[in-house]
């Protein structure tokens, strides 16, 4: 069987560090073309992987290449534009998160996928972490009972990516840590909760560290910084989501804040048990024979990264060997949530969805 041909739009850090290893490790696919506005960047990568064709205009690549899949790793603003063009061109699309920077664009992507009959999938790598997969099965078994509230977040002490570049430019990114980090953890929490329908949100955003250059993690090295560039996004966002079934979710995301340590977490509370997934360590809080118990599952080393699992799952779906773990409609809902939190922060009131 001939291999699926992949064309890539955007060859920066997320492609090099996560997407490229995933595509190149799967025997059913091959990357045949790269596109980046920075041609030398794409040519460098093409030489490394033995890829012969490089473009600076994605439209030219879509018109000239016999592709099966288009992988999109651009700045957030261009996710919808490139996705729609690729879908309308008859290609399956895998796109880095977030789906888009506003709900209308996310809906246009979903509509293009439906009309084309091609698969559109946006990165949801945290669903593929072993602890997440175990927890999903544990919850679906009924062991946690009714999940009625929770909280999730990703808090950094000092870890602003690409200061002055597209990450901190709202026109290109759509926002700061809420859209950058929040899309990961809010999705994970809602997925674990059984995908209840959100009905209202409230939120607040803050920008307090735009001029600080301190860093305590490699996160600040991500993206391309630009001296004197734009910084018009939040560096911290907090919020509250209400769901149709009465459940609620507290959220907090920051690139920079005066906390003791960085923390990535999901906590859920159910009538039979609770769970805490903090910086990769899972604990279950329950009771056994009238005794309160904490259970700590242990997971072996996973040879694949969560990003690799997600992309390999997408390939399986394209080949008809699996059903998608997420769909464009859930992506539209996610961007609606994020957009409404930003709106709530601006008007200082709850926003109904």
Write the pLDDT tens digit of every residue in 55-76: 999 999 999 999 999 999 999 9
Dist CA 186 CA 253 (whole Å): 10
pTM value is 0.95
Judge if the upstream peptide bond of residue 114 is cis by omega within 30 degrees of 0: no
Per-residue pLDDT at 40: 93
Tell me which residue has tokens 């062991």.
Answer: 143
CATH fold, domain 126-300, is: Dihydrodipicolinate Reductase; domain 2 (3.30.360)
Per-residue pLDDT at 172: 96
Residue 238: strand pairing partners: 204, 252
Kindly indicate the confidence band of residue 256, based on its pLDDT and cuts at 50, 70 and 90.
Answer: very high
DSSP sequence for 214-248: --SSGGGGSS---TT----S-SEEEEEEEETTS-E
- Which DSSP symbol is given to 302? P
Dist CA 112 CA 94 (whole Å): 14
The mean pLDDT of 126-142, rounded to a whole number, is 97
Dist CA 34 CA 18 (whole Å): 15
Question: Is residue 233 scored above 70 in pLDDT?
Answer: yes
Which among 97, 174, 146 has a CA at the least distance from the CA of 328?
97
CATH code: domain 4-122 is 3.40.50.720
Kindly indicate the confidence band of residue 353, based on its pLDDT and cuts at 50, 70 and 90.
Answer: very high
* Residues carrying CATH 3.40.50.720, the chain: 4-122
Q: Are 205 and 253 in contact (CB under 8 A)?
A: no
How many CB atoms are located within 10 Å of the residue 85 CB? 19
Kindly indicate the confidence band of residue 1, based on its pLDDT and cuts at 50, 70 and 90.
Answer: low
The percentage of residues in the chain with a pLDDT greater than 90, rounded to a whole number, is 95
Per-residue pLDDT at 29: 97
- Which DSSP symbol is given to 182? I
154-194 pLDDT, tens digit each: 999 999 999 999 999 999 999 999 999 999 999 999 999 99
Backbone torsion region of residue 131, taken as left when φ is above 0, otherwise alpha when ψ lies between -120 and 50, otherwise beta:
alpha
Question: Is residue 234 scored above 90 in pLDDT?
Answer: yes
CA angle 309, 180, 245 (to 5 degrees): 80
Give the dihedral sign, CA 119/120/124/127.
Answer: negative
Averaged pLDDT of the chain? 96
Per-residue pLDDT at 87: 98
Per-residue pLDDT at 223: 84
Copy the structure tokens of residue 343. 């709106």
286 φ, ψ (degrees, to nearest 5): -150, -165
- Which DSSP symbol is given to 83? H
* Residues carrying CATH 3.30.360.10, the chain: 126-300
The mean pLDDT of 268-285, rounded to a whole number, is 97
Q: Are 54 and 43 in contact (CB under 8 A)?
A: yes
């Amino acid at each position: 069987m001939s291999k699926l041909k992949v064309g890539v739009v955007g060859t920066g850090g997320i492609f090099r560090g996560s997407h490229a290893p995933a595509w190149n490790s799967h025997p059913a696919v091959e990357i045949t073309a790269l596109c980046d506005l920075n041609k030398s960047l794409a040519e460098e990568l093409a030489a490394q992987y033995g890829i012969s064709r490089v473009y600076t205009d994605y439209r030219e690549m879509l018109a000239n290449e016999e592709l099966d899949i288009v992988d999109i790793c651009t700045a957030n603003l261009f996710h919808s534009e490139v996705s729609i063009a690729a879908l309308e061109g008859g290609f399956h699309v895998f796109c880095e998160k977030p789906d888009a920077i506003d709900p209308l664009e996310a809906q246009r992507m979903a509509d293009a996928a439906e009309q084309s009959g091609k698969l559109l999938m946006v990165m949801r790598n945290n669903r593929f972490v072993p602890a997440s997969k175990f927890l999903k099965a544990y919850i679906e078994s009924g062991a946690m009972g009714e999940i009625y509230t929770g909280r999730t977040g990703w808090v950094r002490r000092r870890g602003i990516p690409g200061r002055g570049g597209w990450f901190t430019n709202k026109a290109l990114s759509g926002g700061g840590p809420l859209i950058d980090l929040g899309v990961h953890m809010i999705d994970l929490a809602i997925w674990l909760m059984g995908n209840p329908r959100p009905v209202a949100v409230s939120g607040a955003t803050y920008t307090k560290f735009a001029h600080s250059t301190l860093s305590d993690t490699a996160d600040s090295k991500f993206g391309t910084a630009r001296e004197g560039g734009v910084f018009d996004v939040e560096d911290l966002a907090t919020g509250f989501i209400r769901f149709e079934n009465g459940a609620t979710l507290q959220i907090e995301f920051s690139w920079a804040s005066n906390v003791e340590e960085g923390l990535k977490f999901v906590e859920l509370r159910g009538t039979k048990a609770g769970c805490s997934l903090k910086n990769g360590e899972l604990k279950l809080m329950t009771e056994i024979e009238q005794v309160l118990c904490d259970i700590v599952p242990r997971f072996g080393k996973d040879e694949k990264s969560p990003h690799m699992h997600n992309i390999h799952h997408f390939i399986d779906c394209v080949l008809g060997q699996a059903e998608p773990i997420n769909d464009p409609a859930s992506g539209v809902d996610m961007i609606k949530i994020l957009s409404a939190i930003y709106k709530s922060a601006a008007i200082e009131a709850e926003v109904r969805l």
